[in-house]
Amino acid sequence: MSIGSRIGEQRCEIGWSQVRLADEAGVKQSAIGNIESGLRQRPRELVSIARALRVSPEWLETGKGPEDRAVAAQARRS
């Protein structure tokens, strides 16, 4: 699974559009679209996107590390 796939999956899981994620992360919607479609493999906005999605940048980048959906869900409830 790619960075874009993980971003798209997490975004959909919380019910956000690309526009909403872009607004929350402080980036353009086109950046989110390009990342999710695979046009951008190493996004410089990774940290801000991870923060908006409440997951770790490491998990978005590699699929490993402390993404842990339970932790992410708990953070969203806070």
Q: How confident is the model at residue 15 (pLDDT cuts 50, 70, 90)?
A: very high
Reported pTM = 0.78
Q: Cα–Cα distance between 69 and 19 in angstroms, integer?
A: 22
Q: What is the pLDDT of residues 24-72, one digit of tens each?
A: 999 999 999 999 998 887 888 999 999 999 999 989 988 887 655 544 4
Structure tokens at 38: 């695979």
Q: Taking 70 as the threshold, does the pLDDT of residue 76 lie above it?
A: no
Q: Which amino acid is at 69?
A: R
Classify residue 36 by its DSSP letter. H
Q: Name the residue with higher pLDDT: 58 or 20.
A: 20
